[in-house]
Amino acid sequence: MTYKLPKDFFFGAAMSGPQTEGAYNIEGRLRSYWDMTSDLEINKFFNNVGSYVGNDMYHRYEEDIKLLKSLNFKSFRTSMQWTRLIDRDGKLNPAGAAWYHKLIDCANENKIDIFMNMYHFDMPEYLYQKGGWANREIVEAYANFVKIAMEEFGHKVKYWFTFNEPIVEPEQQYLHGNWYPYVKDFSTSIKVQYNITLAHSLAVHNFRKLKAADKIDQDAKIGMINCFAPPYTRPDPTPEDLEAVRMTDGLHNRWWLDVVAHGHLPEDVIDTVENKWKIDIGRRPGDDAILAEGVVDWLGFNYYQPTRVQAPDCDFDESGNPMIAKPYIWPERKMNVHRGWEIYPQGIYDFGMKIKKECPDLPFFISENGMGVEGEEKYYQDGVIQDDYRIDFVRDHLIWIAKSIEDGANCLGYHYWGVIDNWSWYNAFKNRYGFVRVCLDKGYQREEKKSAQWIREIALNNEFE
Ligand code: BG6
């Protein structure tokens, strides 16, 4: 059977500055949270590989952009590192700006649309030391950084994004305690989430102001990118299971959807947090007007896995944190064992339909989707990594995307995560996502895997078997 995607549906690459650029200590680049954690505890990083080198894109950007072009991709999302663009006084770092000019010019010359994201978990260390997102002053510092970037590149970059996965830092650093400083405190986590939401809204506000003043091209758009996880529970759920779904969905998904589509936070979620759990999220008079500015032109939907939850065993843990849900293990689940994530392609359809229903005026695109596999060298045959598992993974998701478009979802494109293998937080180079391998033993040389040729043909014709 031949599956067809709309003619103007775009294929592209998703990456990020801190995971690709490297060149971490040159030309005035400041240290980031990841440089700090790498120095503090290098043994927490897979194979002791810290944040320093990325995949060497700083030096290879021309080659990489040509590679993306050769895959018939129309767009490329990366992120601008706060640490490279801005100095400690909150002013433009000309040397950092010069590199981003080169990168953007190169993409424009190759007719690759650059999607510029402004934050990918990469807080400057000195701001993290001031409390990071838990400190409301940082919201202003971020808004200043984004404003400077937009003033500098407003006539070169058409597609701007405020955040990648704004839910991840609150959850990983302050709720689940998986990332430094390994805190498990709902109250801090929700304050951080709230401050990031304000930061997003201020950045959108600045974008609109600069556009009105003609400092940004008139056809430019602003968006936000988040990892949305469609929530499911067990068959024949109890009211308590459904309540677990409501709050999981509310904090993880609806929180962001409501801000970017409707300019406010979900009332039922705020009501539960503030009135039932008695947790102060730090709201101040005037904040609602800031949040009202958070409405975007389009949304990036990162999809990796669903969330399956059921009622928790108790309402609060021993430290007084509300217990929102506990995991529900679906007996039929299929896992990516390398990453520990469930593979459930239908989730991309279900959530696309949720966006259509809850935010009918909001166009979106799949801004990340991908499969990370450890030890890919064992799949070498005739000098090429035979990553048929990746082809199956992407194909299965594209089938559900095509179906969602048929059923009315306003999904405009597909960006694959990590088209060129990259460094990834504590996992470093453990799980490889790319259609293109980065050979660490050959000075970061790029090498196409089998899937590269496969996606190249699909991206050319927007159809596949
Ligand atoms: C996404 C992030 O959540 O997942 C990326 O935006 C990340 O930064 C990707 O690399 C894959 O996750 P991981 O941990 O397997 O690299």
**244: Cβ–Cβ under 8 A, 6 or more apart, which residues?**
233, 309, 310, 311, 312, 324, 325, 326
Q: Which of 424, 427, 429, 430 to probe ligand 1 with, by most ligand atoms within 8 A of CB?
A: 424
- Evaluate: CB of 164 within 6 angstroms of ligand 1: yes
Ligand 1, atom 7, residue with closest C-alpha: 424
CA of 424 to the centre of ligand 1 (A): 6
pLDDT number for residue 287: 98
Side-chain-side CA neighbours of 249 within 13 Å: the count stands at 18
307 to each of 12, 165, 232, 338, 394, how far by Cα in Å?
26, 16, 6, 18, 20
Angle between helices 450-461 and 388-406 (to 10 degrees): 20
- Evaluate: CB of 421 within 6 angstroms of ligand 1: no
pLDDT number for residue 292: 98
pLDDT number for residue 273: 98
Atom of ligand 1 nearest to the CA of 16: 8
pLDDT more than 70, % of the chain: 100
Q: Among candidates 294, 291, 293, 411, which has minimal Cα distance to 351?
A: 411
- Evaluate: CB of 369 within 6 angstroms of ligand 1: no
Which residues face 415 on adjacent strands? 12
- Evaluate: CB of 424 within 6 angstroms of ligand 1: yes
Q: Among candidates 457, 408, 343, 370, which has minimal Cα distance to 14?
A: 370
Are 332 and 384 in contact by the 8 Å Cβ rule? The answer is: no
pLDDT number for residue 290: 98
- Evaluate: CB of 272 within 6 angstroms of ligand 1: no
CA of 304 to the centre of ligand 1 (A): 9
Residue 181 DSSP SS3: coil
53 to each of 376, 417, 425, 440, how far by Cα in Å?
21, 19, 12, 11
Cβ neighbour number for residue 337 with a 10 Å cutoff: 9
pLDDT number for residue 409: 98
Determine the topology of domain 3-464 in CATH. TIM Barrel (3.20.20)
Q: Please name the helix (run of DSSP H) or strand (run of DSSP E) that holds residue 308, with its range, or none.
A: strand 307-310
- Evaluate: CB of 431 within 6 angstroms of ligand 1: yes
In 321-405, which ranges are E strands?
326-327, 335-336, 341-342, 364-368, 373-374, 380-381, 384-385
Atom of ligand 1 nearest to the CA of 418: 10
Work out the average pLDDT over 344-369. Answer: 98
Tell me the per-residue pLDDT of 17-63, one tens digit each, with 9 for 90 and over.
999 999 999 999 999 999 999 999 999 999 999 999 899 999 999 99
Tell me the per-residue pLDDT of 263-314, one tens digit each, with 9 for 90 and over.
999 999 999 999 999 999 999 999 999 999 999 999 999 999 999 999 999 9
CA of 417 to the centre of ligand 1 (A): 8
Q: What are the counts of helices (DSSP H) followed by strands (DSSP E) for the chain? A: 16, 21
**Boundaries of every domain in the chain:** 3-464
Atom of ligand 1 nearest to the CA of 227: 3
- Evaluate: CB of 451 within 6 angstroms of ligand 1: no
pLDDT number for residue 393: 98
Work out the average pLDDT over 347-354. Answer: 98
- Evaluate: CB of 427 within 6 angstroms of ligand 1: yes
**287: Cβ–Cβ under 8 A, 6 or more apart, which residues?**
198
1 to each of 4, 399, 405, 464, how far by Cα in Å?
10, 11, 17, 8
Q: Which of 176, 335, 368 to probe ligand 1 with, by most ligand atoms within 8 A of CB?
A: 368
Tell me the per-residue pLDDT of 104-134, one tens digit each, with 9 for 90 and over.
999 999 999 999 999 999 999 999 999 999 9
pLDDT number for residue 278: 97
Ligand 1, atom 16, residue with closest C-alpha: 424
pLDDT number for residue 35: 98
CA of 220 to the centre of ligand 1 (A): 27
Which residues face 257 on adjacent strands? none
* Average confidence score pLDDT of the chain: 98
pLDDT number for residue 237: 98
Question: Which residues are identified as catalytic?
Answer: 165, 368
CA of 372 to the centre of ligand 1 (A): 9
- Evaluate: CB of 45 within 6 angstroms of ligand 1: no
**23: Cβ–Cβ under 8 A, 6 or more apart, which residues?**
29, 54, 58, 59
Tell me the per-residue pLDDT of 361-396, one tens digit each, with 9 for 90 and over.
999 999 999 999 999 999 999 999 999 999 999 999
- Evaluate: CB of 122 within 6 angstroms of ligand 1: no
- Integer Cα distance of 341 and 128 in angstroms: 29
Tell me the per-residue pLDDT of 191-241, one tens digit each, with 9 for 90 and over.
999 999 999 999 999 999 999 999 999 999 999 999 999 999 999 999 999
Place of tokens 């080169």: 102
Q: Please name the helix (run of DSSP H) or strand (run of DSSP E) that holds residue 464, with its range, or none.
A: strand 463-464
- Integer Cα distance of 440 and 449 in angstroms: 15
- Integer Cα distance of 357 and 11 in angstroms: 25
Are 335 and 341 in contact by the 8 Å Cβ rule? The answer is: yes
Tokens of 81: 């590192």
pLDDT number for residue 293: 98
Work out the average pLDDT over 241-250. Answer: 98
Tokens of 265: 């936070």
